[in-house]
Every structure is written in C-alpha cells, then in structure tokens.
Structure 1
Amino acid sequence: MSKEIFDDIVLEEKSTWTQVCTECAEKHSDLGCLEEIPINLICGVSGCNNEAKYYLDIYKEDYGNEK
C-alpha cells in the first residue's frame, strides 16, 4: 500500500479535492488544479499543519490515497 499524501480529502462522485498551503501546493500541483481561496483551514497534506491558501481539485487518478 502506498503512503497516503492527504489526511483531509473530499472524495465526491464527480470530484476529489482538498485544501493545501503554499509549500504543499508547490509540491503537489501536478495532481490537479489550484484555486487560491480566502479560507481558515489547515492544509490537507499528511503531517502538515500550515494554514491552507488553495483548494486543490485533484484530476490525477493515482495520488496516493485509497478511495
């Protein structure tokens, strides 16, 4: 089993998304589309507790989390 990238992710029928901080956005932007947003949430990447600045709409099927 691969290591999970995200510890806070939304798996919907038509979309998959999470919120990410600036540092994690740079690391994982290849997985989907970033949208800058004014939110007060914590980054959804495992082990990161920074304040999120972006939503990451995930398009890539193999992103390291089990569905």
Structure 2
Amino acid sequence: MRQISPKVRGCRHIHQSVITLWLKRCDLRTVQYMAGHKRISSTERYQVGYLEDLQESINRCHPLG
C-alpha cells in the first residue's frame, strides 16, 4: 500500500475514508447498511470528520459569526 501512496497507512485507513465519504453523501442508516455495521453506534464514530466540516460551514456562513 505505501508503495502506491505514502499517505495511505493500510486497508483500515481506506475503509475509514470510504465510510467518512459515504456519511457526507448519504444518511446514517444507509451508511450503516453499506458498511455492514450491526449497530448504529459503529457508524456514528465516523461522523467526527463530518462534524468538523459542519462547524467550519457554520462559522463561515452564520450571520453573527
């Protein structure tokens, strides 16, 4: 993997990136199904990056910010 791209740390890194991308495009339940997670909490832990993007958008667009 590292020979292809030094930024990729392994298969797990790719897995996490794909789920994070899905969360940006789809709702939580759909991503849970696509990822094969039994519990919704397993999918929710990937929302951290998504929430950072949301906070950035709020800071940029909020009329009082």
| Fold equivalence (TM over 0.5) | no
Pair member with larger Rg: 2
| Greater RCO (Cα-Cα under 8 Å, separation 6 or more) | 1
TM-score (norm 2): 0.23
Q: Report which of the two has the higher share of helix.
A: 2
TM-score (norm 1): 0.23
